[in-house]
Structure 1
Amino acid sequence: MFSMIKTWRALKARGVMGINQRNAEYVLQYNNRRYYPYVDDKIVTKERALIYEVNVPEMYGVISSESEIKYLPKIIGDRTEFVIKPAQGAGGDGILVIADKFDDYRYKTVSGRLITIDEIEYQISSILTGLYSLGGMRDRALIEYKVTSDPIFKSISYEGVPDIRIIVLMGYPVMAMLRLPTRQSGGKANLHQGAIGVGVDIATGTTLKGTWLNEIITRHPDTNNDVSGVALPDWDGFLELATGCYEISKLGYIGVDMVLDEEKGPLILEINARPGLNIQIANNAGLAARTYRVEKHLEELKAAGIEKESVKERVAFSKEWFDAKNTF
């Protein structure tokens, strides 16, 4: 009993955020439920991002009912690469990534498996029934641009596309993590399925140590290359994209998932209103310590009569205060 209390006090002293604190003090306090549809539906998120002129993967089309599945060939056109995903899916389930066209009737998935048009249509039908959606509700299928991962990740990722998660509080980036697919995760950047979470220094965009299956690691288990010390290109671009998602979502506490495309640069994939806490392990730092600093800054701005800072000012604040070397 005393050991548990001692551990709890030690974690609290380091500013580590627990799930109860996250839910009560951040999700409930800063996220108005009326705006959840802005982030729970990827199509709505994409449409709002376009209004704010924020970069997202191009949307080729949407299928909302079984009767619209017949329009799939028209939506795909001559494209040999595309992604089909549920609008309200979670955890990467239900996503079909097509990497090439094999012949007139078959395509090749990113894993190399051949799949027929009929099988693709069946997958879309499953999406529409709500098989992959939150709460099992009927859903829509989104067909969009297939991201080509930047070559910088080739040595530290197994297939798939790595993504970057940035936690944002009231428009201020507070913590970042790079998620790297592994053989165990099936090429998906999903920590619960076996992907690696690598901390990223907010100030520099340089990767730190990683966490894999709740263990601290320094090398990728499949490529055997170091995951730390990698300088992510266009880091300020990522920070500004994530910061701008505060206005897009109208939610105060969010996790922004982004990718680095070889040609198009940083792109927003989705926004999460209930971001997980494993990011703290990857950064060896507590979220609460950083969110408290943002809240204090907001109080100081209010006292000075400043309603809100610009995106660049918010990014500058976060880079100054949340340097990996800064322990407060």
Structure 2
Amino acid sequence: RHLYPIVDDKIITKERAIEAGIDVPELYGIIDTEKGIDKLDQIIAGRNDFVIKPAQGAGGDGIMVIADRFEDRFKTVSGKIVSHEELEQQISSILSGLYSLGGHRDRALIEYRVTPDTIFKSISYEGVPDIRIIVLMGYPVMAMLRLPTRQSNGKANLHQGAIGVGVDLATGVTLRGTWLNNKISKHPDTTNAVDGVQLPNWDGFMKLAAGCYELCGLGYIGVDMVLDQDKGPLILELNARPGLNIQIANDCGLTHRAHAVEARLEELKAKGIQEDAEERVRFSQELFGHIASKEI
């Protein structure tokens, strides 16, 4: 638990990731006091799009995504026009701890807005789809793609109505999905199939995720990543308490995979060796990958 702050505070996660040479969305600035809100103009000067988020937020709450400027105002990703005062109010709410885990005072970060790779156009509604990989003791054990819907207001959070789609660890090909706890094979807004999609740069995502174990030292984490059309795979955040919907999306439990990893660690310990991120990825892909698509 003493390691939780590393993943619960997005600013600390980002600093650690940058030190480790892991790609993350660029941080434009941090506001940590009411007086600091005056720095906002300086931070966003010359930028038309950016994201404001709480450092210790949970479940995607408190995040404001600005897609463009509109005269002396701003346009959010869903097309809503907001004033400068509203941006300041949002930051003030973040600082007061409105969105933080446990409700204590928080910091606001302003960062690069991710533009999703065009591969997601046909299976996502607005927003930014993301990929979550569950990593156990450094071994990726399960993955899902989270797709925003109209219902989730363009957010990739399942409890707000996004779709969770299982991903084959070996190939990066999507499997069937789950939406509001129902199994589905098409996106409700675009009506395109969500299964059978090849995610590009899959091995890159797997290596990034496996490498996060060294970054934070937590035995069980959810690594949330995005595919930016210009910058490729980026790590958005690490989650110390990833939910269990990923099992529903993959139609598979985590228990036997966890046992397999534990057995592997015992075996390596007996030999006195440790595997690096690349070797851990290979192990997971060979053991947990290549799932034949099942008929529903």
Cα distance in 2 for partners of 1:323, 1:88 equals 33
Q: CA deviation at 1:59?
A: 0.1
Alignment of 1:22-171 (within 5 A): 33-103=1-71, 105-171=72-138
State whether structure 2 residue 239 is matched by structure 1 residue 239: no
State whether structure 2 residue 283 is matched by structure 1 residue 313: no
Higher helix share: 1
* DSSP-derived class of the 1:256 partner: strand
Aligned to 1:304: 271
Cα distance in 1 for partners of 2:165, 2:178 equals 6
Q: CA deviation at 1:324?
A: 4.1
| Partner amino acid, structure 2, of 1:218 | S
Cα distance in 2 for partners of 1:278, 1:107 equals 35
Cα distance in 2 for partners of 1:255, 1:111 equals 27
Aligned to 1:322: 288
C-alpha distance after superposition, 1:99-150 (max 9, x if no partner): 00111x2011101111111110111001000011111100000000000000
Mean Cα deviation higher: 142-151 or 277-286: 277-286
| Partner amino acid, structure 1, of 2:154 | G
| Partner amino acid, structure 1, of 2:51 | V
Q: CA deviation at 1:325?
A: 2.6
Cα distance in 1 for partners of 2:221, 2:80 equals 35
| Partner amino acid, structure 2, of 1:323 | G
| Partner amino acid, structure 1, of 2:277 | V
Structure 1 runs of 4+ with >4 Å offset: none
C-alpha distance after superposition, 1:211-232 (max 9, x if no partner): 0011110000000000000000
TM-score between both structures, scaled by the size of structure 2 = 0.98
C-alpha distance after superposition, 1:54-113 (max 9, x if no partner): 00000000000000000100001100010000000011111000000111x201110111
> Structure 1 residues 324, 276: closer, same or farther in 2, change over 3 A?
farther
Aligned with 1:179 (options 133, 139, 146): 146
Cα distance in 1 for partners of 2:141, 2:231 equals 25
Cα distance in 2 for partners of 1:254, 1:235 equals 19
Aligned to 1:280: 247
Q: Which runs of 5+ in 2 are unaligned?
A: none
Cα distance in 2 for partners of 1:274, 1:112 equals 32
* DSSP-derived class of the 1:260 partner: strand
The alignment's C-alpha RMSD in Å is 1.1
Cα distance in 1 for partners of 2:81, 2:241 equals 36
Cα distance in 2 for partners of 1:238, 1:163 equals 11
Percentage identity across paired residues of the two chains: 71
Cα distance in 2 for partners of 1:222, 1:184 equals 9
Cα distance in 1 for partners of 2:270, 2:81 equals 62
| Partner amino acid, structure 2, of 1:93 | D
TM-score between both structures, scaled by the size of structure 1 = 0.88
Cα distance in 1 for partners of 2:236, 2:41 equals 24
C-alpha distance after superposition, 1:188-246 (max 9, x if no partner): 00000100000000000000000001111000000000000000000011001100110
| Partner amino acid, structure 2, of 1:317 | F
Aligned to 1:295: 262
State whether structure 2 residue 178 is matched by structure 1 residue 205: no
**Paired residues, number:** 293
Cα distance in 1 for partners of 2:165, 2:290 equals 13
C-alpha distance after superposition, 1:151-201 (max 9, x if no partner): 000000000000000000110000000000001111100000100000000
Tell me which structure has the larger Cα radius of gyration.
1
